Amino acid sequence: MAGVLLWVVCPKENATTTQLLSLIPGSGKQQRPSSSRLCSRVKFSTKVSAFSSAVANPARSSEEKVYEVVLKQAALVKQQRRVRALDFTSTVGNDGMNNWDLLNEAYERCGEVCAEYAKTFYLGTLLMTPERRRAVWAIYVWCRRTDELVDGPNASHITPRALDRWEKRLDDLFEGRPYDMLDAALSDTVAKYPVDIQPFRDMIEGMRLDLYKSRYMNFDELYLYCYYVAGTVGLMSVPVMGIAPKSKATTESVYNAALALGIANQLTNILRDVGEDARRGRVYLPQDELARAGLSDEDIFRGEVTDKWRSFMKDQIQRARKFFDEAESGVAQLSAASRWPVWASLMLYRQILDAIETNDYDNFTKRAYVGKAKKFVSLPVAYGKALMGVYNR
């Protein structure tokens, strides 16, 4: 797939099937969020409840339910909650390597995977502190492997039970019992940073949805899917990327921006891949909005760019852009060294929306991508934005 951030979020471009196969095992302060969208709908409370209990109340919108997760994650980072750290100190194995060396090797391997599948993002991480950089690699690798379960070469063999086993493995690694060396790196990361298990579980839930759901009745349903498979990445990453010590923003608003970036990226992914998804029998577009635009699944399968389609797409693109705008406010609040890769990914992914427009909204037969020239311009601009950040410590 094309380009810098595309290497982050769509690393398939750089990956061969066999390479990916080898990754698959056995096959602050409380305040209202910046978003006015949300402000109008969420009843704010300092009481933070688990996502599962939020789900139990179906009268609430997906944004409200997900916002409760944001509050919970923000509260956890404030507590600096840590899970039991692994003991990587003493034992020396037959090969003369001690556990410490093994852990370093595990992280190195995560870095290699990241460099292979998400090259420019990998380069961006090199600006981060060594500790943070390798923790982000470990998270990246776990996300990549999770997505490969349902999208990779073995996808047709993946059952809900296989995902249950993957979740059990996740529980184990959070408890300090990693299954393999890539898990060990994440085990160490979650012991060192206030990373909660819930976004990881929720990403697996998104993959479960992909096993049986191929239509989304309205944006509320689609939003929840986007949270599961992409918003979660933002929530996993912020505790590692770190908030600038001098930032005056609430923790919760930074998490909210991170969530928005994940949602924006996934909505963009969906708009770019309409044709590709349709060929797999999938329509990740809100059915009610399609109907209101006078469109149906049949129109999508036919793949004809009509004025109705253009008008529908304009609205979808506008919505995705709003989520990017919402994310922007949070980037400046991140620790200085973490800002560049985030700005770069935001700018490059957002340009895919421009590319869809340039293609006259033909996302049935043309794949929107950001060309090399635009990437080369965006990277220094992103760097400048990162440097200009309000808090440089």
- Which positions lie near Mn ion, rule CB under 5 A? 147, 151
In the 3-class helix/strand/coil scheme, how is 311-374 assigned residue by residue? HHHHHHHHHHHHHHHHHHHHHCCECHHHHHHHHHHHHHHHHHHHHHHHCCCCCCCCCCCCCHHH
Exposure class string for 159-180: b at 16+ Cβ within 10 A, else e: eeebbeebbebbeebbebebbe
From the list 127, 86, 82, the residue with the least C-alpha distance to 103 is 86
- HSE of 53 in the Cβ direction (CA atoms, 13 Å)? 7
Residue 229 touches which of ligand LST6JFWI, Mn ion, none (Cβ within 5-8 Å per kind): ligand LST6JFWI
Q: Give the residue among 96, 89, 42 at the shortest CA–CA distance from 70.
A: 42
The CA–CA distances, whole Å, from 323 to 223, 260, 270, 391 equal: 11, 5, 14, 23
In the complex, the smallest distance separating the C-beta of residue 93 from ligand LST6JFWI, rounded to whole angstroms, is: 30
Which of ligand LST6JFWI, Mn ion, none does 363 bind, CB closer than 5 to 8 A by kind? none
**CB closer to ligand LST6JFWI, 103 vs 110:** 110
CB of 58 to Mn ion, least distance (A): 28
Q: Which is nearer to ligand LST6JFWI, 49 or 214 (CB)?
A: 214
Among ligand LST6JFWI, Mn ion, none, what binds residue 182 when CB lies within 5 to 8 Å by partner kind?
none
Give the rounded distance of the alpha carbon of 141 from its chain centre. 12
Cα–Cα distance for residue pair 135/192, rounded to 1 Å: 9
Q: Residues 6 or more apart from 377 whose CB is under 8 A from it?
A: none
Q: What's the rounded Cα separation, in Å, for the pair 17 and 376?
A: 28
Distance of CA 363 to the CA centre of its chain: 22
- Between 170 and 254, CB nearer to ligand LST6JFWI: 254
Taking the complex as a whole, the smallest distance from the CB of residue 115 to ligand LST6JFWI amounts, in Å, to 13
We find the least distance from the C-beta atom of residue 97 to Mn ion, in angstroms, to be 35
State which residue, 283 or 342, has the beta carbon closest to ligand LST6JFWI. 342
Binding partner of residue 65 among ligand LST6JFWI, Mn ion, none, CB under 5 to 8 Å per kind? none
From ligand LST6JFWI, Mn ion, none, interface partner of 170 (C-beta below 5 to 8 A by class): none
Q: Which is nearer to Mn ion, 266 or 333 (CB)?
A: 266
Q: Minimum Å distance from CB 277 to ligand LST6JFWI?
A: 8
How many residues would you count in the chain? Answer: 393
Residue 233, contacted partner among ligand LST6JFWI, Mn ion, none, CB below 5-8 A by kind:
ligand LST6JFWI
CB of 233 to ligand LST6JFWI, least distance (A): 4
Nearer to ligand LST6JFWI, 98 or 329 (CB): 329
CB of 147 to Mn ion, least distance (A): 4
CA 106 to chain CA centroid, Å, is: 22
- Which CB atom, from 21 or from 49, has the smaller least distance to ligand LST6JFWI? 21
**Cα–Cα distance measured from residue 366 to residue 370, given in angstroms and rounded to the nearest whole number:** 13
Which residues contact ligand LST6JFWI by CB under 6 A? 8-10, 136, 139-140, 143-144, 147, 151, 229-230, 233-234, 237-238, 254, 257-258, 261-262, 265-266, 269, 327, 330-331, 334, 341-342, 345
- Of all residues in the shown chain, the one whose CB is closest to ligand LST6JFWI is 330
Choosing among ligand LST6JFWI, Mn ion, none, which partner's interface includes residue 139 (Cβ < 5 to 8 Å by kind)? ligand LST6JFWI
Give min distance, CB of 53 to ligand LST6JFWI, in A. 26
Structure tokens belonging to residue 358:
């340039």
Nearer to ligand LST6JFWI by C-beta: 5 or 42?
5
CB of 74 to Mn ion, least distance (A): 28
- What is the distance of C-alpha 320 from the center of its chain? 15
Q: Of 150 and 241, which CB lies nearer to Mn ion in the complex structure? A: 150
d(CA 229, CA 206): 5
Q: Could you identify the residue written with the tokens 């990453």?
A: 237
User: How many CB atoms sit inside 10 A of residue 265's CB?
Assistant: 29
